[in-house]
Structure 1
Amino acid sequence: MRSALAENPIMPGGSDLASVAYLGIVIEASERALAESPFALFEGIAEQAKVETGGAAVYVGLYRAPNGETPATVRILSCAHALPASIADLMAEAQREAGAIQQKAAQHFAALDLGGLEQLRPAPVPHAARPARRSSPPLAVPELSTAPEAAPPATTEPALRAVQSASQPSRGRYERLANAFKAATSDDQRGRIAGELVAAQQSEDALERFYAVNAMVRADAGFFRDALRSAARDADRHVSDLARRALEKLTRAG
């Protein structure tokens, strides 16, 4: 990516990766190369691009080459936004104010002499008699009700519903499950982890199903062969493609 941006034919001077605001990475390879490449590799490329661009929007697209013998091709689309003149003026003014504040903070002031305050003595203040407190009738204590409180009504605001909804599935959790399965020393441990992955593979969330199937492939595709066969018929294309590639790899190895 760095060499492609540095040797940009549109801009003779090239472009810097740190100035990119949007970056699109299109990878076109054979079906075999895509099947042998772990999905985490492409996620790592996207994360590294975000770091080197300082948080740019990075999009990665994977496409299967029509000819299986064609070498892999990488295409890069990038663009950078220039700040408006008003924003540049505002930043310059903020820098000038910050410099003035730093100069004031660096000035030295002599210590304040408070020795004259030691001669001051507070004048005595006579205490006035406290007025008699008027008695007031006792307040009636309301009777406590034993009926249970009603549950608070469900919110109808979309923003509050979004906060109250379940959190998104975590890719790191399923990576830890895959690592724990490979490190397990007993059938009971592997059985408990396999139960969690199979249950997640039946989730209504397509992203969670994808993470679960990916963890099965990473842990032991042969152990989860039946679950992968079921995932190959998943309604989500990404889940079914991942399961089919794993099954094809098992068939070739087998």
Structure 2
Amino acid sequence: MRQIVLDTETTGLNPRTGDRIIEIGCVELMNRRLTGKNFHRYINPERDSEEGALAVHGLTTEFLRDKPKFAEIFAELREFVSGAEIIIHNAPFDLGFLDAEYKLLGHGPFVGDVSGVIDTLVQAKEMYPGKRNSLDALCDRYGISNAHRTLHGALLDSELLAEVYLAMTRGQNSFSIDLGADESDAGGGGEVLALAPLAEIIVRVANEEELAEHEAALTVLDKEVRGQCIWHQAPAQPTENQD
């Protein structure tokens, strides 16, 4: 399966008020493996970036002035993403800008060229409700180094997101080691991992002081329930068969 991890940088937050794409980065995955084939372009938006956006990506008007316009990289982008499943963090944002650029060129929406879109932000919120699920937060959660990410960059962010996505969905992999064999081989191209023996289970017995503290806590519970809490109740004795 061919997947493309995609990210954009923009002049601002709203394409409906004229903000434009200034950078696009794509990283290719084939059967959940990075292929090393990427697509990366800086784009002249023909306008200045808003101050807040500039602080995020650092791409100045002067730097972008001699870069190609979106219309000049449009055909290359369509060819690169054609038929692939697209992976984006906070997909509505990037898709909104891509659709706006496509519309300016008289073309239909971006999703018309691809097989589908996965939003990793939606996935992360389902997996970690109530937690921070930004790209930086997910990198920290999965132990992926983002120390070199001082500013946002479309290609760098796509590379980080690719690692995050693979970590988030690792349970989909089979427990096998790919030995590089042809997929048509009868063995399936992998070797099953042997189960490692369980480590010794260490039981730490409570000392007298800890037992006393536990008993005091149970006594407080007894008072609160005005009776005997379940941890003070003796276990039910099995009844003998009367038959």
Same fold (TM over 0.5): no
**Which structure has the highest strand share of the two?**
2
Higher relative contact order (CA 8 A, sep 6+): 2
- What TM-score bracket applies, with the shorter chain setting the length? under 0.3
TM-score by length of 1: 0.19
Larger gyration radius, structure 1 or structure 2: 1
Q: Between Structure 1 and Structure 2, which shows a larger proportion of helix residues?
A: 1
